[in-house]
Every structure is written in structure tokens, then in C-alpha cells.
Amino acid sequence: MTQDDNGGSGGRARQREQTRQALVRESRRLFAASGYGAVGLSEIVRAAGVTKGALYHQFAGKTELFRAVLEEVQQEVAARVATAADAETDPWRQLTAGCQAFLTAGTDPDVQRIMLVDGPAVLGWTEWRVMDEATSARHLSEALTELIDAGVIARQPVPPLAHLLSGAMNEAVLWLAGSGNAAKDLADVRAALARMLEALRVAEDEG
């Protein structure tokens, strides 16, 4: 392959990536504003400034495009959780900081709509859960495993505990979405979560 061929190939690859980024960016904005069901492919390609052919070159259809948007949102939330946890050195504080960061991230209307409302409805609970377990839920399971191994939390199977906590936090975020007093209710949810997590700790005289 000649140098010109390499340059042409590289240019096409960049163009494909730019097209993909535009489709994900604009569809994310539209899905967040109106919901998956109310957004058509024609609206997406018009907003992204591409043709339907270009969209189908990147994605099999709207569902696959939504999956890419959801994956991006989940990864961003997981990054916020990890950043909050990594700012702490004590494993227990890492767990609590990460859980609280998840609540904060979940108050973003875009996250609520895409990750918690449309995600399970569009992809189905099973696939949504698999994607969730690859991001935020994985961090939660790892933190719980470390604390159980250290004797901070009583020894018990991690998967059911992680699912219970994850479900409680998801439900709390959905409740906050319809709250009439978001600031006060977020503070109340934070306090309730802190008490729930504290109940998992083994008392010092038991350790």
C-alpha cells in the first residue's frame, strides 16, 4: 500500500469515527429530551448532518444506536463513581463515597431518562443488567468483596448483596426524578443510604 493509500484509508477512518460520534452525540441529546420512543431516525440523521445510509453503515438501527448511547452514559456514571471512590484511601469510605456519587450522578435528567427509564424498556432487563454489571455494578461488587475479605462487612455472598444495594439506589434515583423538592429529598436519600450502608458494618466488638 502506498503512502497516499494509507492517508486515504486513515482519512476515511477518521470520517467514519466523526460520523459515529455525531450520531451518538445527537441521538443522546434527542433521547434525553424526548425519550427513545418519540425520536425517529430521520430526526437523528438530520440533527447529525448525515444520511440514513451513513447511519446504517455505523449501526443496524435505532436500537443499536441507543445501545451505544446507553453504554456511553453508563461508562460516564461509572467513571464518576470511581473518581469519588479513588479520592478516598479507606476502603469503607471508598464504598460510601462511590455510592453517594452514584446518587448524585443519577439526579441528572439525561442519566435518569437514558440509563434508568429507557434502558431497561428498550433493551430488556436482562441485557440492561449485563451492561450495568460491566460498569457501576462491577465497582460496587469489587468494593463489597474487599470489605467482606477485610472483615468490615459480615461474610456473605456478594451477588445478592450487590443487587439489593444497586436496586435500592436505582429506585431512589427514579423517585428523585419525580420529587417536588429535589434538594431536600436528595439530602434525605443520602442520609437514608448512609444509614443502610452503616448497618452492613460489623460492630468493632464483633470484629
Helix, strand, or coil (residue 42): helix
Helix, strand, or coil (residue 11): helix
Specify the pTM: 0.85
CATH classification number, 1-59, choose in 1.10.10.60, 3.40.50.360, 3.40.50.2300, 3.40.50.720: 1.10.10.60
205, pLDDT greater than 60: no
Give the domain ranges of the chain: 1-59, 63-207
Residue 132 banded pLDDT, cuts 50, 70, 90: confident
Residue 205 CB burial class (10 angstroms; 0-12, 13-18, ≥19): exposed
Q: Which three cell numbers stand for residue 90?
A: 479507606
| The domain over range 63-207 is classified in CATH as 3.80.10.10 | no
Residue 33 banded pLDDT, cuts 50, 70, 90: very high
Q: What local confidence, expressed as pLDDT, does residue 204 receive?
A: 64
3, pLDDT greater than 70: no
Q: Comparing 3-17, 26-40, 66-80, 192-206, which segment has the lowest mean pLDDT?
A: 3-17
